[in-house]
Structure 1
């Protein structure tokens, strides 16, 4: 194996790791958003966890996170402004990334 092959393999491994980390952070942020939305709907306990799972699954409908935003807006019956929901998701994504970095240490 040449040096070029070694570098290529290392780059591919790093890319795969970064994508996996991004996926996990997105899923964690969606779960946190789901738990927040569940609380606003008066859903608690196991039902809140189940609802959060539906929010996570909503992210598989299309690329990006607009599918998640649409679901939460609809579930909250448009009582919360879409920009507030987007802001919460951004907040939870930052929190998820921070938690994952701490866990990696």
Structure 2
């Protein structure tokens, strides 16, 4: 195998790893957002976990995070506004990235 092939394989492996980390961070952030929203909805225990899972699953509807935001905005109705929810998701994403970095 040539040096070029080795470098190409290394770049591909790094890209795959980086994409996996992004996916994990997004999923973890969405779960954290879901648990936060569940608390606002008065859910706890298994009901809160189930709601958080539904938020994670909602991210698979379309590219980006607007599908998650739309779901949480609709579910929270007047309990929170869209800008607060977007800010909370950014906060959750930062926490998720830090947690994943500390696990490695």
Give me the TM-score of the superposition, normalised by structure 2.
Answer: 0.98
RMSD: 0.6
Q: Does 1:71 align with 2:68?
A: no
How many Å apart are 1:77 and its aligned residue?
Answer: 1.3
Structure 1 residues 20-50: Cα deviation after superposition (integer angstroms, max 9, x where no partner): 0000000000000000000000000001000
Deviating 4+ runs (over 2 angstroms): none
How many Å apart are 1:11 and its aligned residue?
Answer: 0.3
1:31-46 equivalences under 5 Å are: 31-46=31-46
The separation in 1 between residues aligned to 2:88 and 2:77, in whole angstroms, is 17
How many residues align structurally?
A: 104
How many Å apart are 1:99 and its aligned residue?
Answer: 0.6
The separation in 2 between residues aligned to 1:5 and 1:42, in whole angstroms, is 55
How many Å apart are 1:90 and its aligned residue?
Answer: 0.2
Give me the TM-score of the superposition, normalised by structure 1.
Answer: 0.97
Q: Does 1:22 align with 2:22?
A: yes
The separation in 2 between residues aligned to 1:35 and 1:80, in whole angstroms, is 14
The separation in 2 between residues aligned to 1:50 and 1:60, in whole angstroms, is 16
Q: 3-state DSSP class of the match of 2:77?
A: coil
| Structure 2 residue aligned with 1:80 | 80
How many Å apart are 1:16 and its aligned residue?
Answer: 0.2
